[in-house]
Structure 1
Amino acid sequence: MPFAGLVPRRFIQLAALLALLTAQVVAALLPNVPALVATAAGGLALDLYLQYRNSAQLALLSKLHFDAAPRQLLRDMLVLVGLLRIDGIDPLREQAPLLVAVCLFHALHFACQAVAVAVRRTRRLPVVTRNIDTSALHLTPAPPRVLVRRPGHRLLTFSVPATIGLLATLITTNSLWGAIGVGTAVTLMLGGTAYLATWMLPRKRVKDDQVMRWLEKWLAEYKPTVAMYFSGGTTSAYQANMWLSTLSQVEGRPLIVLRERFMVQKIDATDVPIICFPKVSTMFLLEDSSLRMMLHPANAAKTSQVLRIPTIKHAFINHGESDKLSSCNPYAKAYDEVWVAGPAARERYAQAEVGVEDKDIVEVGRPQLAPIQPYSGAPAGRYTTVLYAPTWEGWDGNPGNTSVVLAGENIVRELLADEGVRLLYKPHPMTGSVDPRAGAANQRIMAMIREANTKRSGARPGAQDAAELARRTVELDKCTSTHFRQSADEVERMLLQGATGGGREALITEATVAWERAYWASFPEWEHQVITDARPAIFSCFNQADLLISDVSSVVSDWLSSEKPYAVANTSGMPEAAFRTGFPTVSAGAILTPTAEGVPALLESVRRPEKDRFTAARAELKEHLLGPSDPPSLTRFNAAVAALCRKADERRARMEERLLTAIPAQRGAADEVSEDTDTDPFDPESATSA
């Protein structure tokens, strides 16, 4: 296995590095000039290789406080010890200056590191933005990464001339070589430190209060009305990304509000302005802005902080609806409104009894489902395309969450046994993150699919199709990605990701459609696919598939917008009748047991629609889950936005009226006190007599 090979190599490299240092100690004490030269040069070369090519290998040594600085200092001192123990070099007249110069070099390294820390702090702004013109802040590119963020790389790289010079002196007993080498290293470190310090000058620095004043002015000019608020971990960005297309079409001025700095680059390409508030104190700048409401696609620990802003109304829109308990989280009652797709979710909240009142639930449909194509009848081609899209195992350990562990291999085996099936396997990206058994089963399923492909043969698309996919990939990457140099920090990215100029959403949509068309054309119609990348998206897979097999998840609800046949794996241990009653989203689909013996009959019902007994039920369930088709979901969504914004405006008007009423009353009370009390409040005697 690949992992089994990585562990020994890691320890072999670290052991070699430590062995060279140990051998250098012995060579310096003997002394043995050839051995000392070889071990010193070899140790530095291996250290440099690991720093630049595999720095993760050195993490263990850093945890032991034996990082690059003490390793290089030890190497330099051992060379000086060797010089002290050989003949031909005067210790006081020749070696002492070299010792002082080496110590100066290492002192400059620590000085450079202190400057680097100061520079990083000055470039860590109180907010991070994207799609907002930051030219008024006069932001500057980041300094070279080797100077500001990689002390080990910097020290070892600048040590090369010193080591070469000292080793040359060791070989020739001519101290001039050592002086030249160490002098060059000192000059490099001194020059690098001075160059890095220029980022501390006022023309390259932006003060926090200056940034906040600029942002306050931008908010006043842009006048945002509705924002999407998101906070989460590195793998949760998809929860926000699924709402980007809807947010870009909201009537008003949309905004995206984030809380984690790294999340700014996790959000997919969009024209919508993005602001990240790492600290809650800076986020309260929104209280006095024109922002009237926020949309929340997920619950997070930091959500409670933004709910404290009284001038903003909040709606929970979730990142998908299913029959799982997570779709009826009690936290939802903290929001002003809970927006759901259709009547089914309203009923779900009522049955869950988690404190969400019916009057606070608004049915808006699922606007982002518009790209999903409707059912067009039985498969027209030679192959029936089946999408198997299981969900992940979840946090609660319920065996019914995912079918991958108990049923996945059986389902895939039955599908692959049918020569007329083309399988698309798209597991949830978090599969195996909680239960290792799910990860292992996922790997076995992918191996089964790859093996099945080796047994199939047929004509493959030509080179022209592959070239078209490559061209479309480049075009899509240009639309959706911003390529940064390695040294770029968040300030430089803010500078490069300024105002988009508009129209980017349409370009991205067009490029995505063209890429998806080229992607599917680049594979033969008989070839099974394992899809683990973000592209193609799940909706694109929907449009390719004739049948969905999944678990109890939001994937089923979204699939129903097409009204195509589907099946759900029941690995919960519940009888089928109880399973259908407990999970209404499965009521219009076939149920597969862990043994998957129902797959052949399921495929027959897809190929011969007259045998499909769920056709009418799917149409009925679609409306129950997603709401009516007329008016369109986006229209209903915009109407809900407008209604909640009006509620925010009405509250602001009431608060202003109360404030205006309270101020005269307070002034009148103060006047009465001043007329009835003829005492000086700051005079102790007057206060006592009063």
Structure 2
Amino acid sequence: MLQTLVRRGPLIGVLFALVASYAALVVTAVLATPLIFGFFLLVAAAMDIVVERRFRPVVYLLRRAQFGISHRAFVQIFLLLLLIAITDANRDMSRSELLVVSLVAMLVPVGRIGYLGLLTLVRRRTQPPVEVRNVDLPPELRPASTPGILVDNLTPRLLALGLLPVLAGAVSVRLNDFRPFGMMMVLYVLVVGAGSLLLLRQLFALGARPGRQALLDGVSAALRDQYHPEVVLYFSGSATSLYQAEMWLRTVERMPHQGVVLVRQRHAIRNLGRTTLPIVCIPNQVDLMNFTLADARIALFVSNVGNNIHLLREPRVKHVFIGHGDSDKVASFNPFSKVYDEIWVAGPAGRERYARAQVGVRDDEIVEVGRPQLDVIERRTGLLPPITPERPLTVLYLPTWEGWTDDDFQTSLTVMGLDLVTRLLASPLPVRIIYKPHPLTGTRDRRAAEADRQIQAAITAAIREMPPVPQQAAAELAQLEARLADEDVTVAEAEGLQARWHEVFWAAQGTRHVLVEGSLPNLFDAYNQADVLVADISSVVSDYLATGKPCVVANPKGLSDDDFRAAFPSAYSSYLLNPGADIAELVDTIVRSDPKADARVQARAYLLGPDEPPAQQRWNAAADALMAAADLEWDGQHGAGPQLEQVTAFVEPSPAPEAMGESQPG
């Protein structure tokens, strides 16, 4: 309980300060002290802005407690009226005058509610049923945008605007003169009224735009005209899960058949990495069912999520589960996999994994395609180079996350993560650590989040004792990052910038430890830098075999070596690390003799398939075979969504409104 309070201390503190500021407003209004009331009003407004911008958990809590930002705006007005009613100033006011002041003051929350209500309507109409990237749309199909002045920094602007009449009211009470209050109210009404009129104008203009189905059909026609995509890479998930789709972008780009990325959340189309592929976002399941992908023949699924069913229902498309990494975790032999036409795995290990699990997947539904992403990884053979202070052993620690369920052998963080990092930092052998936690670390188990925090703190403390990054390198890295952040950077240019960034970054690091917190440096480049991998049971164990370098797998339950390898065959050629064992000793054995070098060669073929032909070539061959099967089964009729005639009707002259879906609600 004490640890929870300490961890949540900042949130509890800011919540207490916010509530205390409003309590002070109540007290100063009851005591009829207008100047002190005005002071605490400024304090409360400042707290409102801080909370809304930086403390989202507090925002959600306050909303659930019916004390959100709009409720607090009401409270400010009511407390001002309370101040007016209690102070001696009201002795010179008649009841009718007091009523007028009260009604005028109510224009502040009423204006706020009216503006936000109109803005909500405009946003609903401007938010299209389908969004695209890398697709040129005619002007009538492009999303309408609301002027930035009406939506940018809306919370602080409305707070400041509504604060002016309340402050003026407190001053008016002190002066016993309500002209300042009236002037601020006139200003408030003029500004909010002008904004509302602009929103109304945009709302009426949006009524002339194409209807929902017309937009779907128009975007579908534009996509088909420009690309004729035959392969669909499908993704649905949170922002932290985007890596599941991003790892396949280059593979689909290199296919001889045109691909399209279909995502189901709007965050994905904004945040998905750069690609030459067209990207289509359709959040609503009915819209997806009404969206035509006339040339689609294969759909590739990267995870087993409920939204998959909205595309799986299309019988004219062959559905393939490709996952987001081959491993011995439960996700790699989920019984849900039975719904797909085929399951593409890297090597024989993936096929045998399904056979052992007996989850109802037939052997003829499994195709071994290798791991095309790994074609760019450098391979090392022979013993490690000599380890010196100038050339330390680079250990890459990649713990997985705690998983959605309580299955054993998920993350090593909670059992041994901090201990193994501490031992590596204290190793007599010169060691450099590269640490990259899983993006979902701490999602279910706070112990994992705390272990991750302590590990990062320990590595950060060690980095402070090392020479800093040269200023020239730091400046160039900043320039490269700024350029990479520009939206106008092409995919080819971005690849060149990233290559240069990695070159400069690793040269500048020297012997320094590295904490990987963002998208750079990327994982495969970290593979190339590492001498030894320390990981949990996950896809990185299989992927790292492509380097030919040694791997240590955590055994957090302390099983015998035979039992562990029987349960997790992907660890066949890895060194096992039990809780309490000294990883420094294990690393010393690897450096001196590396007795599992030959086993790794066999394991690579077992887990990733043969080196020849290349994985991309095997992947493309699997796609060709499945497309041929789709054409044979459907006699050349393929695609998803409504019949093609409904889409082509959109681009033909003089379409009937009913054919365009105008009669459907928007």
Q: Scaled by the length of structure 2, what TM-score is found?
A: 0.86
SS at match of 2:585: helix
* The one of 619, 627, 637 aligned to 1:645: 627
8 Å Cα contact 2:232/2:300 also seen in 1: yes
* The one of 449, 461, 476 aligned to 1:468: 476
More displaced stretch, 180-189 vs 130-139: 130-139
Distance in 2, matches of 1:588 and 1:107, equals 69
Displacement, 1:228?
A: 0.5
Question: CA-to-partner distance for each residue in 1:508-535, whole Å, 9 max, x for gaps?
Answer: 221111111222223231x222323332
Aligned residue number for residue 204 of structure 2: 201
Question: CA-to-partner distance for each residue in 1:380-439, whole Å, 9 max, x for gaps?
Answer: 562111112121222332442222222323322332223411122222222232233323
Displacement, 1:298?
A: 0.8
* The one of 574, 592, 596 aligned to 2:559: 574
Aligned residue number for residue 492 of structure 2: 506
Q: Scaled by the length of structure 1, what TM-score is found?
A: 0.83
Q: Verify: 1:46 aligned to 2:12, yes or no.
A: no
* The one of 134, 142, 145 aligned to 1:141: 145
Q: Which amino acid is 2:506 matched to?
A: W
Displacement, 1:318?
A: 0.9
Question: CA-to-partner distance for each residue in 1:448-494, whole Å, 9 max, x for gaps?
Answer: 3344445x55x55421121121122222222xxx4xxxxxxxxxxxx
* The one of 36, 40, 57 aligned to 2:34: 36
8 Å Cα contact 2:300/2:322 also seen in 1: yes
Aligned residue number for residue 279 of structure 1: 284
Change in Cα spacing, 1:145 to 1:263, as seen in structure 2 (3 Å) is farther
Question: CA-to-partner distance for each residue in 1:116-139, whole Å, 9 max, x for gaps?
Answer: 221122122212222222343243
Question: CA-to-partner distance for each residue in 1:588-618, whole Å, 9 max, x for gaps?
Answer: 1222221223642433433x4xx22222221
8 Å Cα contact 1:461/1:521 also seen in 2: no
Distance in 2, matches of 1:408 and 1:648, equals 48
Q: Verify: 1:612 aligned to 2:574, yes or no.
A: no
Aligned residue number for residue 612 of structure 2: 630
* The one of 119, 128, 142 aligned to 2:131: 128
SS at match of 2:616: helix
Distance in 2, matches of 1:460 and 1:260, equals 41
8 Å Cα contact 1:349/1:356 also seen in 2: yes
Q: Verify: 1:26 aligned to 2:8, yes or no.
A: no
Aligned residue number for residue 397 of structure 1: 406
Change in Cα spacing, 1:578 to 1:159, as seen in structure 2 (3 Å) is closer
* The one of 493, 500, 524 aligned to 2:510: 524
Distance in 1, matches of 2:447 and 2:178, equals 64
**Structure 1: which 5+ residue stretches go unaligned?**
28-34, 483-499, 657-690
* The one of 47, 67, 82 aligned to 1:78: 82
Aligned residue number for residue 379 of structure 1: 385
Distance in 2, matches of 1:115 and 1:266, equals 28
Q: How big is the alpha-carbon RMSD for the aligned residues of Structure 1 and Structure 2?
A: 2.7
Distance in 2, matches of 1:220 and 1:9, equals 52
Aligned residue number for residue 267 of structure 2: 262
Aligned identity (percent) is: 32
Aligned runs of 1:86-485 on 2, under 5 Å? Answer: 86=90, 92=96, 97-136=100-139, 137-144=141-148, 150=154, 153=156, 155-202=158-205, 206=209, 207-221=211-225, 222-286=227-291, 289-377=294-382, 378-380=384-386, 382=388, 383-416=392-425, 417-453=427-463, 457=466, 459-478=467-486, 482=487
Distance in 1, matches of 2:86 and 2:583, equals 79
**Structure 2: which 5+ residue stretches go unaligned?**
1-5, 639-666
Q: Which amino acid is 1:304 matched to?
A: I
Larger radius of gyration: 1
Distance in 2, matches of 1:302 and 1:143, equals 33
Displacement, 1:367?
A: 0.7
Q: Which amino acid is 1:283 matched to?
A: L
Change in Cα spacing, 1:73 to 1:176, as seen in structure 2 (3 Å) is closer
Number of residue pairs matched by the alignment: 618
More displaced stretch, 356-365 vs 11-20: 11-20
Displacement, 1:654?
A: 7.3
8 Å Cα contact 1:260/1:276 also seen in 2: yes
Displacement, 1:178?
A: 3.1
8 Å Cα contact 2:224/2:293 also seen in 1: no
8 Å Cα contact 2:220/2:293 also seen in 1: no
Distance in 2, matches of 1:368 and 1:110, equals 52
Aligned runs of 1:525-604 on 2, under 5 Å? Answer: 525=511, 527-597=512-582, 599-604=584-589
8 Å Cα contact 2:400/2:535 also seen in 1: yes
Distance in 2, matches of 1:242 and 1:369, equals 10
Distance in 2, matches of 1:290 and 1:396, equals 38
Q: Which amino acid is 1:379 matched to?
A: P
Change in Cα spacing, 1:552 to 1:277, as seen in structure 2 (3 Å) is same
Distance in 2, matches of 1:113 and 1:9, equals 26
More displaced stretch, 75-84 vs 547-556: 75-84
SS at match of 2:534: strand
8 Å Cα contact 1:298/1:319 also seen in 2: yes
Displacement, 1:248?
A: 1.6
Aligned residue number for residue 657 of structure 2: none
Change in Cα spacing, 1:601 to 1:224, as seen in structure 2 (3 Å) is closer
Distance in 2, matches of 1:288 and 1:414, equals 55
8 Å Cα contact 1:287/1:310 also seen in 2: no
Displacement, 1:214?
A: 1.3
Change in Cα spacing, 1:512 to 1:204, as seen in structure 2 (3 Å) is farther
Change in Cα spacing, 1:2 to 1:464, as seen in structure 2 (3 Å) is farther
Q: Which amino acid is 1:421 matched to?
A: V
